[in-house]
Structure 1
Amino acid sequence: MLIYTADKRQFVEHVQGNEIEERILARMLGSGKGKPSPNEITSWRNSMQYMENVLSASGIPDDAGVAIEYMIPQTSKRVDFILTGRNSDGHDTAVIVELKQWEHVEATEKDAIVRTFVGGREREVTHPSYQAWSYAALLEDYNETVQTDNIGLHPCAYLHNSVSPAIGDARYRDHLDRAPAFLKADAEKLARFLRQHVRKGDANDILYRVEHGRIRPSKSLADHLASLLEGNAEFLMIDDQKLVYESALDLSAIAEEHGKQVFIVQGGPGTGKSVVAVNLLGALTRQGKVAQYVTRNAAPRAVYEARLTGTMKKSRISNLFRGSGSYHEAEADTFDTLIVDEAHRLNEKSGMYQNLGENQAKEIIHAARTAVFFLDEEQRIHWKDIGSREEIERWAKAAGATIHYAELRSQFRCAGSDGYLAWLDQALQIRDTANENLDELAYSVEVVDSPTELRDRIFALNVQANRARLLAGYCWDWDSKKDAEAMDIRFAEHNFAMQWNLDKDGSTWMIQPDSVHQIGCIHTSQGLELDYVGVIIGPDLIVRDGEVITVPEARSKNDASIKGYKKALKENPDLARKKADQIIKNTYRTLMSRGMKGCLIWSADPETNEYFRALVHQHGGTPDAVGEQEAQADVLPFPKLAPEGVEPFVNALPVVSFKAAAGGFSELQNVEQSPEAFDWVAPPEFIALKPGMFIAQVVGASMNRRIPDGAWCLFAPPGGGTREGKIVLVQHRDIDDPDTGASFTIKRYHSEKTSDPDTEWRHARIILKPESSLPGYQPIVLEDDALSELVVVGEYVAQLDS
């Protein structure tokens, strides 16, 4: 929607006549978009004065077009300033200018995010270059006129009050290359940028044509999204996921002729709601329909975008992933389909101050011909969460929509076990499932003795796939957000201190490789999954005499999840306590169901810890459940021999565990003296057994060009002669193997020698080289004094299970 339009000459007259803000305001009010704030009106007056100065000095022709506050269809986004005309070749062109009144700007570690003073305090906000480029990308990807008429779009940002060089920090280079940013002293540079792209006037009414262009996704966007999904195993659908997916596609088609459709899909943790949602986004976009993936929580949007693109960088498909508060200004039926994941997290109001719009469920239904809501009411974990089947039905009926229902039942998290979720409900006393227990579940549940043990176990489980994390209830203040050296969660009696989730990683914390060294909360983990999760239960949930009691007052002051509880407690104590109880129990149910293979638990309260331990033991869990599950996953492909039948190195070879990353290999020198220290197996008949040989399973991908991850291999004892070029198993105190985290590693051996008057030669350095098809593996280089401590444990002979 065009709010203010003029040519350059008229714009200059309106600014110089001190009437520009009144003209913009009048047209804004006439559009029915409500009255802007006084601060916004002031910003028009100030910013347009700067733009008038630039245009007057730029040599831009008087009949170039000017638009202010252009509202991009299908969004609530407004472009501050657009200049239109033709370039030196006579092609239609438009320059998009994002205007900022910021004075001081700080760079952050997050992609496309800066810190500045806005809204009364310092906040993290989108880098204006990315913001301007994303607007151009929206028009290129969704406006048919821009696509077919080849209108050139050129975004930039102008921070006319700022001298902060941080806006041009090298970490933002990708965004600055696509949309340059100009500071207070750069008025002449901005003028040259405008003049470069607009040499002639707008004789073709570019903005009018864009305004009336049909909205549809471009073929390039559809093809790109299709290529990202194709062959991506993480987004493959099976069982009832496929049924829900096809049903949603049918409803999107039906809506074109038979009116508004609402599809409510209910499903518990791990039933594949997000998998279906992302696939729907891809399929509808390929069909030429305007669709977006919507969540209240930023973490799933960021993580699924990163998993699709394989990068943490903001990309073109970012415009396909939206927050649930993006639709309060959307026109009716702007979208073909809105796909709402985690609909239980919808809020009533939108905006930074929760003061925009009426109801997010209502607004989403209003904005789309078809709205698909994926819902799990037992994951409502915030005081302001309003998403429920009843709430969605109410607004769907008010909009005259036809309502459809489906349920996702197949459980893919928690080892496919609905029994574990039922056990959680019983354990947390959410509902009575007395007949459900942990017996015969292919899922590991363990209660540990200390936070230190919990941390160490998660570290060990994380080694192989980087899919184990520590999570906790939000009962400790986030001091490290302001002081990078501060420790947030401390248990001095256990010599334990860790920080909350890495602030620099934002919403992608869960999938960052270093995040295992921090503790995540409900806000950075909901909607996502791991292999193993370690959960610290804080003082907001305790057990007394077998009763699970929630303590809202024990939550951190930094957590907004129960903001509103104290006020509600005064108005209706019983209702307030019931709602807070549900939120806290749902929070731990959600945290404890993030793992696909197992959950480890520790409570800061001893009686609570013993309560969970007793439940685990009572229902078939064992203290070593996780370790046992891991062992079962690595079944030996060779016959294991009884001790009485073992003849070392005659009919049997020992099996050494590389996964036991704590110990060394000195015991290998004493096999014949202590054969009971090993499992002994009968190797394949073609092996000519020799003393000192052993079998081990190789873990990791650092040598996958030669040795696949998980392969069972034969090693010989280190012999005489050169080791140059051989694959060896070595141990050294300075080695930190990327696959095992241990002080030993398997690599190809290379030695660089130098002359020595006493011994003729000596090692100058030893290089242990990986041979991997994956990026990120680096050679390990040992020099000087470190060389003397290198121990070659064995030489690779062959893979035995190929």
Structure 2
Amino acid sequence: MLVYNATKQQFIDDVRANIIADAIQNEVARKLNRNSPRNEVKSWECSLRFMMSALLDEGIPASAGVAIEYNIPLTNRRVDFILTGKNHQRDDVAVIVELKQWQFVEVTKKDAIVRTQLGGSVRETNHPSYQAWSYSALIADYNETVRSESIRLVPCAYLHNMKQADEINDPCYEPHTSLAPVFISPDALKLSEFLSKHIKYGDSNGIMYRIEHGVIKPSKNLADALASMMQGNAEFLMIDEQKLVYETAIDLAHRAGSENKKCLIVKGGPGTGKSVVAINLLVELTKREMMTQYVSRNSAPREVFKKKLTGTSKKTHIDNLFKGSGSYVNAKPDTFHVLIVDEAHRLNEKSGMYQNLGESQIKEVITASRLSIFFIDEAQRVTLKDVGTVEEIRRRAAECGADVQELELASQFRCNGSDGYLAWLDNALQIRTTTNIDLSDIDYEFQVFDDPSAMRRAIIEKNRKTNKARMVAGYCWPWASKKDKHAMDIVLPEHGFEAQWNLDDDGMLWAIAEDSVDQIGCIHTCQGLEFDYVGVIIGEDFVIRGGRVVTDAGKRAEQDRSVRGYKKMFKEQPENARVLADQIIKNTYRTLMTRGQKGCYVYATDLETREYFSAFVRSQEATEPLDVAEDTGTLDDLHLPIMTRDEVVPFERHVPVYDLSIAAGEFGEMQIANAEYWVELPDFMRVSPDLFVSRVVGESMNRRIPNGAWCLFRANPGGTRQGKVVVVQHRAIEDPDHGGSFTIKLYQSEKIEEYGELMNKRIVLKPQTNAFGYKDIVLEEELDDLKVIGEFLSVL
């Protein structure tokens, strides 16, 4: 996703006109569904003015491309600035510029780590050369178009407020500055020379558009890469906080001792790379001949890792690397150099089959090691016995005399790198209130099914190629097949659906077993693992009533260990029991619904719950053209309350449904206000007099808008249209889908200055499609006659 895309000349014009920050801020709000803090806006205003000065070099062509805030595929990382064009050999080139407002840095002994002023204090962070290089490497790694079309990526960094270069160019950082040179304030002319050296000719074939819409390679699976990693191969590129956590842990491991115990707490949500960093540390510290073990309470990831390593190492060696969290009850103090605890939120108070051994698993880990590392996400505590919290680790570390350091992982590699999906999910599950109230502009496949059999067929189809799609469910059905291999566990007779929980034969290896796609997994067999696609059955323990989530631990199967002890707790402390069980159930579905890297499919047994989730998404299938059903007064496939003009108070809760095919001439608020049919928007959408709903027919925008989708628009939008999807009308337009004089396309314009004002010189209306035969619509004459009817807001 791109926030801003223009030519060099247009970028310079926007900076000179003092509108660049506003343009970016508006697009961040529209595309990323968030407001920009004042300090972020100020950084754009400052840094982009410096970049404008660097681009004034006449050796850099005016038609070079400028892209700002490019989101790297499958992550939540954004590149500050990209300049595109062709080099002297006419190869396609994209120069990646990491912009920093730092005024100083301090050298550290950690690889690619510096200290500088961040967030009100001096902190450690990545060297900007490493950051720029790692971003370019990620783009090349994930974007097949960049590789197949030989688009050259050239990284660099620009610290425009820094006056002295000694520390930032310290010889210890040479391996990184040699890959991505760093420029400071006195180097402004050198930066211009660097840019003109790599960008000799303009961007004549949409380099950034091809990168943005390139073929994306799925992110790697940790279990599949494990054997290669154990042989010392760098399978995963660590960026930003991941690199900082890794280097900090290596440094602490060398400094920790019997009289100088260390404890590192690493917080991070689903897919932030906790397990990737943990395994990388296990490999590196073992290579450095430090006694190190990977520890987890849940046996599923351990067993999968061991299975993947079978045949590559001796069983005793593998078993010595991966241990359960109850293994240290009788361990002597400081037996290990390092113990790495993954999924630390799942730790129990005591160990043993009856959980009656020892004092505290957390304390036992800290006692048994010189350095203990806890990777934790408190929002993934899914049983009443989970005691792994940051506060509890701090308390136990203090008892053991261990110094505690805390870091946090934010770089997102699950759910297509979409923090937006995770924030929406938290909002939808009503775990916490977020600004992500819908799934618009979220590059993640989320579908709701009315039939579990249809969802199973979809998962089986996704599983055919890579064996990385599975179905899971809330533990609301007894495990009958544990005793009777022929019994069915999850039975939904109204849909003719029957399935078994994962069999004892596969056990914790269900997630990778060859023939297990027909079986249903639960939280105990999938937490800590990942798939490409996950299908989730939501049981009666989580339902929606009147728009609110209602949870009921009593609906869980008696065999479910996650709520064992709830009845006793409810008798003794009913309110506390309800709150804790509510948190456990919500956390369970949050964890299940974030196991898929590329998509999540959902079926809820409760109808109102299905309708709740369906309101956030639209059908993936193409729908028929606009058709009013005379007998019901509803509009086909528009699954929202529909009323006639006489039944509503306009724009209080309802907005008009408008047929764009009659949007001719004086299209305006009065015209849409007189529409015959009106739709009631969901509660989370704010109604205003400039909104209307219409159906989009055709494939020319199918990357954003599926054929036949009902969409929400804002009529007569003001401000800049650059980079927005808009409905426009012009006599020279003949839309390829319907032949009309209006069309829905991505709007781009080139401006020139005349008599002190910026005027449109050329307008390009771009399709965003996977289909063939669609071309840019280019307007160069009678531009004043172009009418922007509306701005696309979201698919309903």
After TM superposition, the score normalised by the length of structure 2 is: 0.49
After TM superposition, the score normalised by the length of structure 1 is: 0.49
Larger radius of gyration: 1
